[in-house]
Structure 1
Amino acid sequence: MKTLGLLLVAALALSGSYAVDKNNFKTCDQSGFCKRLRGFKPEKSQYTLNLDTVLVHGNVLSAEVNTVDTSTPQRTVLWHYALRLSALVDGTFRVEIDEADPLYPRYRTQLALKEEPKADGLKLLSNENGKLTLANTQGQKVIITAEPLLLEFVNAAGEVAVVLNDNGQLVVEPLRVKKERIDDDEANVVDVQEEEGTWGENFKSHHDSKPRGNEAVSLDISFPEADHVYGIPEHTDKFSLHTTTSGEPYRLFNLDVFEYDLDSRMAIYGAVPVMYSHGTKRSAGVFWHNSAETWVDVVNYADSTVVSSLVNLVTGGQKRRVDARFMSESGIVDVFVFLGEKPADLFRQYTALTGTAPLPPKFSLAYHQCRWNYNDEDDVRGVDENFDVHDIPADVIWLDIEYTDRKKYFTWDHLKFPHPAEMVANLTAKGRKLVTIIDPHIKREAGYFLHEDATEMGYYVKDKDGKDYEGWCWPGSSSYLDFFNPVVSKYYAERYQYDNFPGTSKDVHIWNDMNEPSVFNGPEITMPKDCRHYKPPQDGNDGLAAFWEHRHVHNEYGLWNIRATHEGMLLRDNSKYRPFILTRSTFAGTQRYAAVWTGDNAAEWGFLAVSVPMCLSLAAAGVSFCGSDVGGFFKYPEAELMTRWYQAGAFQPFFRAHSHIETKRREPWLYEPATTALIRDATRRRYALIDFWYTLFYEHSIDGLPVMRPLFQEFPAEEDTYTIDDEYLLGNALLVRPVVEPGVTSVKVYLPGAASRTLWYDVDTYHAHHANGYLTYDVTLAKIPVFQRGGSIVPRKERVRRSSALMADDPYTLVVALDINGTAQGSLYIDDGETYEYLNNKHIYAKLTFEPNAMTYSFIDENAHYPTRSWVERIVIAGIKSPPKTAKLTQAGKQTALQMTLHKGNDVLVVRKPAANMAQPWTINFTY
C-alpha cells in the first residue's frame, strides 16, 4: 500500500491537482556537495602550478598542479593534479584538471561533444616571474599565474575576457579510501569518524550510499567588464541571469517537476551548462563539460543585491564584471572557453563543439495536435477530419501513453487501436503524420517481450547492490534500460524496425518523454544516484572501477536515450528518411537528435510569457528546435489566452498544442466560432511562412546560429537590448513581440537599430517604422506585433492547404522590405522535405537580392539542383519611393514583360505573376 500511495501522490501531482511541492526537491543546503563547496573558504588551501613540469607540445600544455596547505610554515603539498590546456580552432580553449593518480578513473562526460574538437596551434611566448604566456595561431593568449593558480584568457584585441580561479574557488576533491579501524577486542571493524555526509547522505526517506565518497569539483569564472550573463538552461526566470547570493544558486539536474514554478532557479527537465557574457566592450563564454548534478552561483557587480563583502573578493574591484561559480558533484574540471568577438561568434563556437540541429523533416516545422490521450482510432479520425471541416491546416496527430497495451511500449491497445497501419495510412493520404510516445521506463510484467529480454540479458540499470533497479512510473513497477551499454542501445534501436513495431511506417515519428529519468518513488522523483551503469571493460576493472554511478551520468541519461531512438529511426529505412524526435530531458548535444519542449506548463498567462525567455535560452545553448505546449498542459485556457498562445506558438520553432488527460477538450473548433477563426488565422500564418522556417533551419544546420535569436545577437552594441526577453528575432529578418498580457489594447515594442537607421515594416500593413527604441503599438485580439526588417526578403506561400506536404509545389510570394538604401537580400532553401538526398546535392540553396535596378535569384551552391515545380506568384516590394516604369524577367535566355501595381498609401509595389521557375536562376530588370 505504501508504494501504491506514492504512485497515487505522483499521479495527483501530474493531474494538476496542486502546484509543485518544493519539499520533494533539494535546496543547496540539502545537497551535500553544494552546501560544502558554497561555504568553501579559499584561504584554507591553494592550487599552485609546478613550473618545472610544464610541457608544450602541439596544441597542448600539460603540467602538474599541487594543492598546498598554506596554514603551515612548511607549505605541505596535499595532493597532485594534472593540468591540460588545449588550443582549439575558432578561438576556443579547453582546460582540464584531474587527479594525477586517482584511485580509479573519474567520469568524463561522453556524449555532449559531436566529435573530438579540432586542434589549433599553441606556442609558449614567455616563462618568467612565475607566469606563463601562451598564444594560439589567431593571436589570442592565455596568461597562467603559477601561485596561486590563475588563468587569464586574452582576446585578439588584447583584452582579458575570461579569468579562471580569480576568487580561488577551484576545488577537486580527491578520491580516498574509506578509513576503518579495529576496535579494542579486534572483533569488529568500525568506520573512522569523518565529515558528515562523506560516505552517504539522506534526503527525506532516501539514503544515498556514496561508495566513492566526496568527489566534487568547483571552479569560479570571471567575465571582466561584462554587463550580463546568459544561458545555463533550463530555468523559468529571465534570459539575463541575476545574482544568486541572496538565495539559491541555479541548479542543473534533470528532474520531472510537476507544475513547475515561474521565476525560479529550480532544476527542471533540462541542464545545459553553457554560459555567455556580453557587454559593450566584448563577448565571451564558457562550456562546463560535466554531466553530474551542478549548481551555479552568479554575482553581477552591477546588481544592487551584491553585498560589499562579495565585492571585496574581486581583484582590482572592477565595477563592471560578472562572476560565476560552477559546482558539480563529480567528474573532472573540464571547461571550454570561447573568445568570440560578438554573441553570434560564441553561439557558433558552442555548436561547433556540440553540434547543430540537423535539417529536420519539413512537416515537423508545421502544426502538431496532441492530447493525453486521443482515445481510440475513431477519436483520431474525428480530430483529423475536423481540421479539414474547419479549414485549419495540421501536419501531425500525436498519441500519448494510452495507445499502448497497458503502458507496454512498442505495443498497441488492440481494442482501442486495432488497425494502426490503416489509421496511419488515412493520415498520410492527406500528407499528415503520426507521433507516438515511447518512454524509457519498462513495465515489469511477465510475458512482456521487452522486460523478458532485458531481464534475461542484463540490460537494465542496476541498483547499488548490482540487482536490476526497480522504480515506479506510469506502468507501475518499472525498470530502466541502460543505454550506456552499446549492446543495450543497439537492442533498443532495433525495436523501432517495422517488424518489431507493427503498425508503424516512415510517417510515424517518436516522442521520448519522462527521460530525466522520471521515477515516481525515487529521490526527487528520479533515479537514485548510487544506481549502477555500464562502463566499458578494462584491465583491472573491479569493485568501484567496474561501473559508473548514476550520479556521474544523470544529466546525460536522456541524451543516450534519444541517441538510441535516433539510431533506431534511421535503421527503419537504411538511413533514407530524416527522423523527428521530441525529448523532454535536455543536455548539451541534445540538438543533434531531437526537438525540445518546455514541459508540463499550465494554462496561465505567466507560462505563456515565460515560453519566450525559456526558448531563447535553449536556442542560445544550441537547442533551436524549441516550443511550449500551446494552451498549457494543465488547466483550461479561456478564449483570449488560447488565442494569444496560438499567435505566439505560430512564431516559435516547435508549434504543438497539448493538454492533460483530465482537462476539458480544447481542439480549435470547440471554442466559439470567433475564437476558432482567430486560431485558424494564427495557424495559417505559420503555414504561409513554412519555407522561411525551413530555410532558417537549413542555415542553422550549416552555420550554428540560433533560429530564434535575442535582439542583442544582431545588435550587440545596443545596451537596451541586453535584457529584452519578451520579443525576439527569427533569423535576422522578422521581429516578433507576442502579446502575453490579458485584456490589452497596446503593448510596448522595442525596435532596435537606430544607429544604423534600420527600418521595420509591419507584416500586415507594410507600414515602415524607423528604429528608435521603444514605441507603444496598438493591438487587437486578431493581431500581435510582427515586423520585417528593412533590407530583408522573406519567402511566403499564400495558398495554405490542409498540410505542408500538399504545398510543396505551390507558388511563392516574395516580400521585399527595402532598407534606407533601397536594397534587400534574403535566401531560400528547397528540397524533398523528408530524405537525406539533399546531402547528395539534390537541393536548392538560393540567394535573393534586390537592387534598385534589378532583382536576382541565384544559386549559392551551383553544384546542387532540385526539380521543384514551384514558381513566383507575386513580388511585394515595401518601402519603394520611386517606382520603376517597366520590369522584365529574364530566365533561361527568355525575356518577359511584367505587370506592376503601385499602392501609394504605404509605398508598396506589387509585381504581378512573374511566373519565374524556382528550379533555375532568374533576373528581373527595372527601368525608371
Structure 2
Amino acid sequence: MRSEWAEPIQSIIKMATFTERMAPVLLLWLAVCLSGTWAVDRGNFKTCDQSAFCKRQRALKPGQSPYRALLETLELTNTRLTLQLINDNNKVRLLLELYRLQGNMTRVKINELKPLKPRYEVPDVLIQEPPTEPMSLLSQDENGVVLSLGAESQRVIVSARPFRLDIMEGREVLMSVNSRGLLAFEHLRMRKDTQADPEAEKKEEADPANQAEEAVNEEEEKVEDGMWEETFKSHSDSKPNGPSAVSLDFSLPGVEHVYGIPEHADTLKLKTTDGGDPYRLYNLDVFQYELYNPMALYGAVPVMLAHNAQRTTGIFWLNAAETWVDISSNTAGKTVFGKMLDYVQGSSETPQTDVRWISESGIIDVFVMLGPKPQDVFSQYASLTGTQAFPPLSALAYHQCRWNYNDQEDVQAVDAGFDQHDIPYDFIWLDIEHTDGKRYFTWDPHKFATPRDMLQGIMDKKRKMVAIVDPHIKVDSNYKIHNEIRSRGYYIKNKDGGDYEGWCWPGNAGYPDFTNPEMRAWWASMFAYDQYEGSMENLYTWNDMNEPSVFNGPEVTMHKDAVHGAWEHRDLHNLYGFYVQMATAEGLVQRSGGVERPFVLTRAFFAGSQRYGAVWTGDNAAEWDHLKISIPMCLSLGLVGVSFCGADVGGFFKTPSSELLVRWYQTGAYQPFFRAHAHLDTPRREPWLFGPENTALIREAVRQRYALLPYWYQLFYHAYRTGHPVMRPLWVEYPQDTATFAMDDQFLIGRDLLVHPVTEEGARGITAYLPGKGEVWFDVHTFQKHNGAQNLYVPVTMSSIPVYQRGGSIIPRKIRVRRSSTCMEHDPYTLYVALSPQRTAEGELYIDDGHTFNFNKKEFIHRRLSFANNVLSSINLAPDAQFSTQSWIERILILGASKPSKVTLKTADGQESQLEFDFDASMSVLTLRKPGMNAGADWTVVLQ
C-alpha cells in the first residue's frame, strides 16, 4: 500500500457511518494503491441502454410522430406565436411558443399545456430575456401556416400533421425541426400501479384541468422499468415525478460537419453515433478518461455548430438535465471514392446531418442561430449567454502547479528555482493538501503556518498564488464553514429532507446548494480578507470536484433525487459547477470592493460559464494521445464561447518522458490557459529536473509565451467584447476551404498566428496546411515566406515549434525577459509587420492596467496599426478613452519588405526624424531600430 493513500483509507475504515454502500469506495481506493495508477472503469458510468430515459427515447422509430398542430389554437402577436400540439396517442396537449430574436435567431419552446406541477426552466444562464423582432403571418390553410421571420427572405413553415417546422431562406431549407418525427414529451402524471398517495390521486381526478392526462391509454400507463425508479449498480434512483424526458430532432440539409457539445475527449468534427452510444452531456468526475469516445466528462455545453462552405448555423439546447445527443448522416461511411462516384453519376442526394437531443427532464427550449458566417454564430450565442470574462493579464502567463507543494519551504524553493533557471512564471498553485484536513478556506497549521508571509514573499517578486476551494464541506462541528452552512439550511437535501451527505476528499461531506442565491451570496462573502484567514490580494481560486464529485454516489456524482428547494438534482445537475464558479468569482470581485478582476479555474461548467473564468480538460495522462486530444478539446470549447481553456501540461496521471514533456510545453505555450500540473503519485517535474538541454527547450517555449502576451491580451479583450474565440479551427477564418473542415492537429490564435505543434513521438517532420489562396505566411522563427493554399512539409528538431504569421498582419510582442508578466508592464514593444502580397498589413495594440475593471471606465489604449503605400501608422481607435503608458516602440520588423533609401518617423506634434535600419536581403526583412515613440501616441513611419 502506498503511504500517501494510507491515511484516507484508514479514515474511511474508521468512520462510524461506514456502511456496506461504502464498500465500492474502499475498493476503489485499494485498487489505486495496489495498481499505482488510475484508469477509467467504464462500468462505473452508464451507457444509453443503462439510462432508462435514453433507452426509451432511442427506441422510438422515425416517421411515426403522434404530434399534430391544432391550427385553430394559433395566436400571433407582433413578437410571439403560440400554438397547441396534441399527442394523438394519449391526447396530452403541449404548448409551442415561437419567437424571432434579434440578431438572426429563432427560439422554440415546448412545454406541457397544463402540467401537474411546474417543469424546470433553466435560470441564470441567459444574460437577459432575449430581445425579439416582429413576425407576421404570410399564409394559412388546413395543412399549416407560413410566417415571415422579419428578414426579407426568411420564413418558417409550420406543418400541422404531423407537426413539423422548416426554417427557410429563399428556396433553401436551413433547418427542419421534427422532420423525422422524434419529438417526444413525457408528461407529468400520477403513478397508476400503486396507491402510495390515494388522496393526491382523488384530487387529480377531481380537477378538470387534468382530465386530458386521464385520457392516457392503458399501453402507456403500463409501468416500464426505470419510469418511476431506476437502479444502477447498488444505487437506487427514486423518481417521484415519474418519467419526464423530452426529445426533439433537427435536420441540417447540405451539412456534413458538426462541432461543439463539449466536453468530450474526441475529434473536433463530431462523429455519427448510429452504431454506438450518443454523445452524453452529464458532468462527471471521470478518472483518467478514455479518448475518442462519446462518454460524458466534467462539463456540458449543449451547443452544436453546423458548417458547410455556404453557411454556419448553431443549435443551443437550453436544458441542464442529463442529455444525450444522437448524430446521423446520409454520407457517413462513404469513402472519398464513393462520394466522387456520386458526383460523376450525378447523384441527387444532398448531404444531410440529422441531430437528436434527448434530456431527462425540464422543457424544450432551443435557440436556432442562423449565422450565416461563423463570426455571426459566435456573436449570436454571446448575445444569449455572455462573453468570455476578461482575465487579468497575469492569468494568461505561465502557471506552475502540482498536487501538492508540500509546505511553505517547498513553495519558496520552487519559486527560487524559476529564478535560478531564468524561467518566468506568474502563478504557483496549491492543491487540497495545503488545507487543515481538507477544510477549505483554511491552512495546514504545521505546513502552512504563516500563509501571509508566504504570499507576501511571492508578491514581492510580482507573482501570485492560486489555492483550491472545493464545494464539498467536511462534516465537522469544529469547522466554521460547515456550522454556518448547516445552521443557515444551505446544504442540498436528500429525498427524505435531511442534509445530503456523500464522500469526497475530507471523508463525510455536505454539499452546499449553490442554486440558492442566498447560499451563493454567503459563499462569496467568505472570500473577504477578514473571513478567509491568511488570504491576500494575490491569492486566487480554483474550483475542482464541482460536477459535483461524490465518491460513493452513482457514477461518482450526486443522487438525482437529492433536492434543491423545489427541484430535484436531476433537473439541474449540469448547472452545479456553473453556480460554484459564479459564486467564487463574485467573492473575488467583492473582496476588492469591485475593483479587481477575478481569476477562477473550474473543472465543471455549462453554457455561460465563460462569464466567470477559465476551464481545463481535467485529469489527463502523460501520453502522446492526450497531448494530441488537448487541441480538439480546447477548439470545441472555444466554438461554444469558452475561450479560456487549457490542458495539464505534461499530463496529470503517469510520468512523461522528457521528449513528451518538452513537446507539451511547446504546445501549451500556444494554448489559452498554460498550466503544468501533476498527480501527487508522480515524480517531481519542475522544468529544470530533466537536464540542462531540456531545461533550455522548456525555457524557450515559456519565453515565447511571454513575448506574445500583448497579442494574447488583445485577443481576450476582443473575446470579451465580441464572443469570438481566441483559439480557432482554421475553418472559422477560411469557411469555404473544405480542406480545413475536419482539421484539428493545428489551429489559429486569432486570425494571424497559425500553430502546428509537434505531437508525435520521435517526429522528424510535420506537414502543416497553410490556408488562403493568394495569401502568404511567414515562419515566425526564420521569417521564411510560404504561399498559402498548400501542404508544407516542415523538418523539425526538438527545438521546433512550427508557428506562422499571416501576411497582412501586425503583431506586437514584448521580448525582454522578466521573471513575471507584471515585471513587463512598462517594457517596450517590438512590432512584427508581415506584409501581404499587396504589401499591406493591419493589427492592433490594446493596453490597460492589466488587472482592474477600469477599462470599463474608458481607461485603456486601443490603437490600429496599419501599413499601406509604404507608410506604417498608429491610429487611435478610442479617442474618448484616457490612459497613459510608459511603454514605447523599441523595434519594428517588416517581413516581406524591400530596401528603402531612408525611413522617416513623423510624430503627432509635427516632428520628423530619420530612423536607422537594417535590411536582410536574403529574407526580405527590414528592421527599424529604436524608433522610440510612445506606444499610446499617434505616429507614422514612412519608407522611401
Q: Secondary structure at the residue paired with 2:82?
A: strand
- 1:492 corresponds to which letter in structure 2? W
Between the aligned partners of 2:25 and 2:408, the Cα distance in structure 1 is: 29
Per-residue CA distance 1:525-584 (angstroms, 9 max, x = gap) = 0000000002xxxxxxxxxxxx10000000001111111111111110111000000000
After TM superposition, give the deviation of residue 484 of structure 1 in Å: 1.2
Flag the 1:305–1:472 CA change in 2: closer, same or farther, 3 A: farther
Which of 195, 219, 227 does residue 248 from structure 2 map onto? 219
Question: CA offset at residue 193 of structure 1?
Answer: 5.7
- What is the SS of the residue equivalent to 1:489? helix
> 49, 71, 75: which one pairs with 1:51?
71
The question of whether the paired residues in 2 share the 8 Å contact of 1:889 and 1:914 is answered with no
CA contact (8 A) 1:243 1:305 kept: no
Deviation at 1:14, TM superposition (A): 7.0
In the comparison of the two structures, how many residue pairs are matched?
A: 892
**Cα distance in 1 for residues equivalent to 2:32 and 2:85:** 49
Structure 2 match to 1:67 = 87
How do residues 747-896 of structure 1 correspond to structure 2 at under 5 angstroms?
Answer: 747-754=766-773, 757-881=774-898, 883=900, 885-896=902-913
Counterpart of 1:573 in structure 2 is 592
Paired residues of 2:65 and 2:182 also in contact (CA < 8 A):
no
Q: Letter of the aligned partner of 2:587 in structure 1?
A: G
Cα distance in 2, alignment partners of residues 317 and 548 from structure 1: 50
Q: How does 1:235-314 map to 2 (within 5 A)?
A: 235-304=264-333
- Separation (CA, whole Å) in 1 of partners of 2:813 and 2:723: 24
In 1, Cα distance between the equivalents of 2:448 and 2:146?
68
Cα distance in 2 for residues equivalent to 1:326 and 1:695? 37
Residue-by-residue CA offset, 1:293-329 (whole Å, 9 max, x unaligned):
00001012211179x9xxxxxxx99431111100000
For the 8 Å contact 1:483–1:560, the answer to whether it is kept is yes
CA contact (8 A) 1:900 1:910 kept: yes
**Distance of 1:410 and 1:7 partners within structure 2:** 26
| Contact 1:473–1:520 (8 Å) recurs in 2 | yes
Aligned twin of 1:540: none
- Map Cα deviations across residues 805-844 of structure 1 (whole Å, 9 max, x no partner): 0101100000000001000000111000011111111101
Match of residue 91 from structure 2: 78
* Aligned-residue identity in percent: 50
Letter in 1 for 2:361: S
- SS of the equivalent of 1:41 reads coil
Q: Which amino acid aligns with 1:22?
A: R
Match of 2:144 among 121, 128, 131: 131
Contact map agreement 2:64 2:181 (CA 8 A) in 1: no
Cα distance change, pair 529–862 in 1 and its aligned pair in 2 (3 A): same
Counterparts of 1:7 and 1:478, CA distance in 2: 14
Whether the 8 Å CA contact 1:225–1:318 is kept in 2: the answer is no
1:421 and 2:452 aligned: yes
Please give the secondary structure, in 1, of the residue aligned with 2:705: helix
User: Do the aligned partners of 1:824 and 1:849 also contact (CA within 8 Å) in 2?
Assistant: yes
SS of the equivalent of 2:741 reads: helix
CA change 1:14–1:874 in 2 (3 A) is farther
SS in 2 for 1:845: strand
Which residue of 148, 160, 165 maps to 2:162? 148
More divergent stretch after superposition (425-434 vs 883-892): 883-892
Q: Conserved in 1, the CA contact under 8 Å of 2:907 and 2:940?
A: yes
1:746-798, Cα deviation, whole Å (9 max, x unpaired): 011111112xx110100001111001331211111001210000100000001
Q: Residue 375 of structure 1 contacts residue 403 of structure 1 at CA under 8 Å; is this kept in 2?
A: yes
Equivalent-residue separation in structure 1 for 2:31 and 2:607 (angstroms): 29
How far did 1:456 drift? 1.9
454-463 or 470-479, which deviates more: 454-463
Post-superposition Cα deviations, 1:351-388, rounded to whole Å, max 9, x if no partner, equal 22111112110100000000000000000000111100
Q: What residue is the counterpart of 1:451 in the other structure? A: 482
**Residue aligning to 2:191:** 178
Residue 723 of structure 2 is matched in structure 1 by 704
Alpha-carbon spacing, 1:370–1:182, altered in 2? closer, same or farther (3 Å): closer
Query: What is the CA distance between 1:5 and its match in structure 2?
Result: 4.4
Unaligned stretches of 5+ residues in structure 1: 70-76, 309-315, 535-546
Equivalent in the alignment of 1:73: none
Residues 22 and 552, structure 2, Cα contact 8 Å, conserved in 1: no
2:58 is matched with which residue: 38, 43, 51? 38
Distance 1:298 1:707 in 2: 27
Change (3 A) 1:274 1:780: same
C-alpha deviation, 1:82, in angstroms:
0.5
CA distances 1:598-638 after superposition (whole Å, capped 9, x unpaired): 00000000000000000000000110000000000001111
Query: Contact 2:485–2:491 (CA<8 Å) still a contact in 1?
Result: yes
Q: Distance in 1 between matches of 2:928 and 2:155?
A: 54
Deviations 1:855-902 (A, max 9, x none): 111111111121100000100000114535332232333222111110
The CA distance in 1 between the partners of 2:32 and 2:723, in whole Å, is 36
Q: Which amino acid aligns with 1:279?
A: N
Asked if residue 389 in structure 1 is aligned to residue 409 in structure 2, the reply is no
Q: Specify the alignment match of 2:237 in structure 1.
A: 208
Alignment match of 2:429 (pick from 372, 393, 398)? 398
Stretch moving more, 849-858 or 252-261: 849-858
In structure 2, C-alpha distance between the alignment counterparts of 1:163 and 1:505, rounded to whole Å: 54
Alignment of 1:596-675 (within 5 A): 596-675=615-694
Take 2:145 and 2:912, find their aligned partners in 1: how far apart are those partners? Answer: 67
1:514 pairs, out of 532, 542, 545, with 545
Letter in 1 for 2:877: I
**Residue 573 of structure 2 aligns with which residue?**
554
Q: C-alpha deviations, 1:379-414, integer Å up to 9, x for none?
A: 000011110000000000000001100000111111
- What's the counterpart of residue 122 of structure 1? 135
Paired residue for 1:441, among 472, 476, 497? 472
Give the C-alpha shift of residue 337 in structure 1.
0.3
Q: In the alignment, is residue 900 of structure 1 matched against residue 913 of structure 2?
A: no
Find the counterpart in structure 2 of residue 166 from structure 1: 179
Tell me by how many angstroms 1:141 deviates.
1.8
- Are 1:222 and 1:324, in contact at CA under 8 Å, matched by a contact in 2? yes
| Partners of 2:795 and 2:140 in 1: CA distance | 63
Gaps of 5+ in 2: 1-12, 14-19, 203-217, 339-346
User: Letter of the aligned partner of 1:49 in structure 2?
Assistant: A
> Where does residue 332 of structure 1 map in the other structure?
363
Per-residue CA shift, 1:264-317, capped at 9, x if unaligned?
1100101111011111232211100100000001012211179x9xxxxxxx99
Q: Is the CA contact (8 Å cut-off) linking 2:38 and 2:653 kept in structure 1?
A: no
Q: Does 1:198 align with 2:227?
A: yes
Separation in structure 2 between the aligned mates of residue 158 and residue 885 of structure 1, nearest angstrom: 59
**Structure-1 residue corresponding to 2:207:** none
Task: State the Cα RMSD in Å.
Answer: 1.9
TM alignment of 1:527-546, pairs within 5 A:
527-534=558-565
Shift of 1:181: 5.8
Match of 2:103 in 1: 90
Give the 3-state SS of the residue equivalent to 2:147 in structure 1: strand
Secondary structure, counterpart of 1:363 in structure 2: helix
Determine if contact 2:385/2:607 at 8 Å carries over to the other structure.
Answer: yes
Matched residue of 1:696: which SS?
A: helix
Cα separation, partners in 2 of 1:148 and 1:182, compared to 1, 3 Å: closer
Structure 1 residues 43 and 321: alpha-carbon distance in aligned structure 2, compared to 1, 3 A threshold: closer
Distance 2:99 2:814 in 1: 48
**Matches for 1:577-592 after TM superposition, within 5 Å:** 577-592=596-611
Shift of the alpha carbon at 1:45? 4.5
- Helix, strand or coil: the match of 2:115? coil
- In 2, distance between residues paired with 1:78 and 1:632? 55
CA distance in 1, matches of 2:410, 2:855: 37
